[in-house]
Amino acid sequence: MAKKSIYEAKFLKEFCLTADNMYRLGWDERNGGNISLLLETDEILEYLDADKVIREIPLGFDAKKLAGKYFLVTGTGKYFKNVKNDPENNVGIFRISDDGQMAELLWGYADGGRFTSELPAHLMSHISRLEVDPANRVIMHTHPTNLLAMTYVHSLDTNEFTHTLWQMSTECIVVFPDGVEVLPWMLCGTNEIGVATAEKMKSARTVVWAMHGLYGAGKTLDEAFGLVETVEKASQIYMLTAGLKRVNTITDAQLKVLANAFKVNYRKGIID
């Protein structure tokens, strides 16, 4: 039976639309940022022949824990603004080889390109999040303007950063009750920052890279996008009010009322 056109795949359409919105919102300038989506085997086989490997690309680290899994990932050096109109050159679909050393390309990167240089950080984070919640399928790295600005003027202590964000909007403790983890500035595109991020991903779905951006995880593209969106809105409110006399705030007691009302298991040690 002939395969369906990959351009009909809902996951590809959603992926391209997400990248387009991230660019539109100013989160991913130039080739900044990257997205990786863990795909279900059944949905891939409707569109691609798993036996037709175009080429193999070395991963640069041991991803054996993800062997046999399929991913849709943005390409290195690719501009998010081009993903929607030219996905075949700007994104790729590959399978992790049985030995965990190679990406077996099945579609995309048509101009000879390869996956984002931060793929090791993505895959390490996927491993961490899958151990916490097997339904987590998305890792999203982006450069939201206000969050980035906030890392220049706010303490980088994880609990203090989380507490401030929770106070910025009523929905925050509900949307990210696990808070945010914060890493100091580190060289991007390395396995070292990937290891550090993956360790933080064990306790939160959001990891802030100081003076750089953030990593967000979710079950779906919408969920991960919404998480980033909410963190960025909270950061914007903080930056708009930083330095001004605050005459009102959401108190810790009110945050607890919110958490209880929405039955969320919030991160302990911040408002307790």
Residues with a catalytic annotation lie at 118
Runs of H (alpha helix) within 133-201: 145-153, 158-168, 172-175, 191-200
Distance CA 272, CA 205 (A): 21
DSSP state of 75: B
Distance CA 254, CA 86 (A): 47
Q: How is the beta sheet containing 206-209 ordered, strand by strand?
A: 55-58, 102-108, 91-96, 70-74, 34-39, 138-142, 213-218, 206-209, 181-183
**At what angle are helices 10-24 and 221-241 packed, to 10 degrees?**
10
